[in-house]
Amino acid sequence: LKLAAHALFKKLKDEELELLLQAVESRGAWESGCIWAPRGDTRGAKQGLPPQVLLCRLYRWPDLHQSHELKHLCYCAGSWGGCGDLAVLCCNPHHFSRLAVPETPPSPYLKASYGPSWPDEPRHSSAQLLDFSYSGGDWHGKRLCSPLPDTSASWGTIKDGCWCKLAYWEHRTRVGRLYAVHEASVSVFCELPWGSGFCLAQLPAAHRSHAVQRARVKIGRGLLLSRELDGIWAYNRSEHPIFVSSPTLSPPGACRLTVLKVLPGYSAKVFDYEWVGCKAGWWLPGEGPCDPHSIRISFAKGWGPCYSRQFITSCPCWLEVLLNQLR
């Protein structure tokens, strides 16, 4: 790639080379602007790589081959034509993520046997259930040992202008208040040199187990949640995997809840708007009802029948995204 890279560098302005240096040296920890490069005509070229693929392959993913493996991050102006010049495109390697897709064949964390799904009749369980109720500007979690509670409170009943609220959990204990999200995207992190968002390091806790402390160290830069035209996307900014589940990740009529592993630098659409309204609820044996308009994300630790952790409430650190309004 040496000749192709040098040819591209010669086409970049000095300020764009400075931006590239900043992005590469910080490994995306510091937000940098778009790096505009001419689209050019790569037909007949030996390398034949678009500028964004070339730089992503050079600085992030050596095994990258095609541009369709990449996704613009929400803050990249190139994703919505912010430059206004169709002859150029953004090639900042840290303005892109790779697309996470379910593995084939499914790994153990994709085969969690949850079901049957969407029961027609209320069900009872002797296991402890988690119920969420909204009161006085905050959410409150309590444990139940009774029939199926109402879990629709997080959807369409809050008229405060936010599109979601974030709840941070350590095992079965929620830590801190809910974080309301009004902007189109939000960063969730423990350590981030520059930026704003939901900083988990600022949430106090009376006692944290060694397992929780070890997991919190792995959160680092965390993740970026963005509300886009086709759904909710999660970008893994940390150096460790995250595990995600939501009803829309499972095929219609499935009796299993899909848990998707998202590697560092990858993005996944974790909630699909087209699915909304198809079903009314989701039942997780051992945990109880799950809000069909919520997303659950575990940091660094997976769960399922092939793990020592059967349920996400056994994971040391996890996030619940309670969606409020769609578009």
Q: 325 versus 59: which is more confidently predicted?
A: 59
**Statement: residue 321 has pLDDT above 70:** yes
Instruction: Please give the average per-residue pLDDT across 174-179, as a whole number.
Output: 94
Would you state the pLDDT for residue 163?
A: 94
Q: Which one, of 311, 324, 317, lies nearest residue 129 by Cα?
A: 311
Task: Kindly indicate the confidence band of residue 286, based on its pLDDT and cuts at 50, 70 and 90.
Answer: low
Would you state the pLDDT for residue 327?
A: 47
Domain 164-278+288-323 carries which CATH code?
A: 2.60.200.10
Task: Kindly indicate the confidence band of residue 42, based on its pLDDT and cuts at 50, 70 and 90.
Answer: very low
Instruction: Please give the average per-residue pLDDT across 117-122, as a whole number.
Output: 30
Asked if 234 and 275 count as a contact pair (C-beta separation under 8 A), the reply is no
Would you state the pLDDT for residue 87?
A: 78
Q: Phi and psi for 212 in degrees, rounded to 5?
A: -65, -45
pLDDT digits (tens, 9 = 90+) for 77-118: 887 665 656 778 999 999 999 999 765 444 444 443 333 332
- The domain spans of the chain are 1-99, 164-278+288-323
Asked if 299 and 215 count as a contact pair (C-beta separation under 8 A), the reply is yes
Q: What is the pTM of this model?
A: 0.79
What one-character DSSP code corresponds to residue 166? E
Contacts 24+ apart (CB under 8 A), 46-52: 46/4, 47/1, 47/3, 47/4, 49/1, 49/4, 50/89, 50/91, 51/8, 51/89, 51/91, 52/89, 52/90, 52/91, 52/93, 52/96
Please state which CATH class domain 1-99 belongs to. Answer: alpha beta
- For 136-145, 156-165, 259-268, which range has the lowest pLDDT when averaged over its residues? 136-145
Judge whether 1-99 and 164-278+288-323 match in fold: no
Q: What is the C-alpha to C-alpha distance for residues 72 and 77, in angstroms, rounded to an integer?
A: 9
Q: Phi and psi for 2 in degrees, rounded to 5?
A: -60, -50
Q: Which one, of 203, 208, 205, lies nearest residue 222 by Cα?
A: 203
Would you state the pLDDT for residue 255?
A: 61
Task: Kindly indicate the confidence band of residue 156, based on its pLDDT and cuts at 50, 70 and 90.
Answer: very low
